[in-house]
Amino acid sequence: MPLLDRTGLRTDIWEASADGASAAEHVIVGFACLDAVLAGNGRGCKIGVAITNDVKAVALEPYLDQVELIAIAFPNSGDGRGFSIARQLRALGFKGVLRASGPLIADQFASALDCGFDEIALPDGVAARQPVAQWLAMAGMISHSYQRGYGAQNILDARRAARTTA
């Protein structure tokens, strides 16, 4: 699964582990076993957690200073709940790496970055259909958003400001 950030392809240093029993330095575990893995992390490896897109962001709040990465699953490109979770995690103060994992499309890249994602793990089929250059071109295509508080300027506020100066 290729890993993409705002600069292009990157090497994935994280290893998925069903139960945290891995010799890797960076381990991603499921949310269900996160408590046990954190309690038994005597060797001090970096812990990440993989969640489905129906987990509430507040459920992760007690762990935000203990995990280095949160990977949010996207079952398909039409299910945007992961964007909301990412935004909420950033609002709760998560400073680590947020990873979108699943079949997003290049058109969603700018929105993913605006919501707080740092990287996207793409299925091989999606990566084959949409090359990295297409993803990077789309990252800068959106200059305004409809929602307030995202990275891009809010289009409604921009229109209001234009009316008051005209």
Asked whether residue 11 carries a pLDDT value surpassing 70, the answer given is yes
Please write the tens of the pLDDT for every residue from 38-93: 888 766 789 999 999 999 999 999 999 999 999 999 998 888 899 999 999 999 99
Q: Would you say how long the chain is, in residues?
A: 166
| Domain count of the fold of the chain | 1
Predicted local distance difference test score (pLDDT) of residue 152: 56
Predicted local distance difference test score (pLDDT) of residue 22: 72
Percent of residues, the chain, with pLDDT higher than 90: 52
Greater confidence (8 vs 166) lies with 8
Predicted local distance difference test score (pLDDT) of residue 119: 96
Residue 127 near residue 2, CB atoms below 8 Å: yes
Instruction: Give the domain CATH number at 25.
Output: 3.20.20
Asked whether residue 12 carries a pLDDT value surpassing 60, the answer given is yes
pLDDT-based confidence at residue 146 (cuts at 50, 70, 90): low
Expressed as residue numbers, the domain containing 40 is 3-165
Average pLDDT over the chain reads 87
Please write the tens of the pLDDT for every residue from 105-126: 998 998 898 889 999 999 988 8
Residue 30's nearest CA partner among 5, 4, 58, 67 is 67
Greater confidence (143 vs 109) lies with 109
